[in-house]
Amino acid sequence: MLAPLAAPYADTRADALRFALGLPPLPALAALTVRLPAGPSAGRLAAAAPGRDPLVRPPAGLAADLRAGRDAPASAHSSAHSSGGPSVDAPGGWSVEFRLLGASHQVVVGGLSETVACLAGAGAPLPARHDAVEGPLAYAFRARTERHADDAAFARAVAAVRAAHDGRPDALTGAFPGDPHAVTVLAPDPPDAAGIGWRTWHAYPQTREIVMTASRLAVAE
């Protein structure tokens, strides 16, 4: 879903972003809720092979997928979200709310919230990696920043992300007025036996940076 935004783009940069879990829903410029079916193992971590990270793909594959925007569509519909402590949506499925903020994004699922934004006085500097168990849910987060050498390379990278997501009903693309390359994209991964996941892309034209995140959520043993 493409969401043209009325709010003007405010210059920021990757190193201004902060990360927080558990914040209440913040005012959003646009929002989209998708329903992801549970995998055959209801997302339990025991389904993963021994010795492998059960929540996240290998780093090389993760980086390639982030660059290419390689996501398969999932069915989407609108629904209301009620906040509370972490809860287990599987085996019936997972309701994932993507929220596009003026300063980045928030994802709410199973009572757990992930926020990546310019948070004055809240959160921690954006980590490359964060793993946590929140109630019955095991959560993993990865982030990386790509810096492009010139405007043309940056424009091509943003165009590739948009081409992969603008027409998807289960992805939320926010286009800020004032700069055609000031965009934020949130999209789900295909659910599988190891749980569910989502990815985000945040483009910052003034520094030619694209911040890319990947998250995984599963039922903890």
As a whole number of angstroms, the distance between CA 96 and CA 89 comes to 10
**Confidence band (pLDDT; 50, 70, 90) for 200?**
very high
Q: Do 29 and 107 form a contact (C-beta atoms < 8 A)?
A: no
Q: Which amino acid is at 80?
A: A
Q: What is the pLDDT of residue 108?
A: 95
As a whole number of angstroms, the distance between CA 221 and CA 101 comes to 33
Q: What is the pLDDT of residue 140?
A: 95
CA nearest to 216, candidates 184, 194, 200, 201 = 194
Q: How many domains does the chain have?
A: 1
Q: Do 57 and 66 form a contact (C-beta atoms < 8 A)?
A: no
Q: Which of 4-18, 59-73, 111-125, 196-210 has the highest mean pLDDT?
A: 196-210
- Domain encompassing residue 187: 2-219
Going from the C-alpha of 210 to that of each of 58, 115, 126, 148, the distances in angstroms are: 20, 17, 14, 8
Sorted by sequence, the CB contacts under 8 Å of residue 159 that are 6+ apart come out as none
DSSP state of 211: E
pTM: 0.76
* E strand or H helix at 63: helix 59-68
Helices 151-165 and 59-68: crossing angle, nearest 10°?
Answer: 90
pLDDT digits (tens, 9 = 90+) for 74-111: 333 323 333 344 444 545 688 999 999 876 899 999 88
As a whole number of angstroms, the distance between CA 161 and CA 172 comes to 12
Q: Do 64 and 4 form a contact (C-beta atoms < 8 A)?
A: no
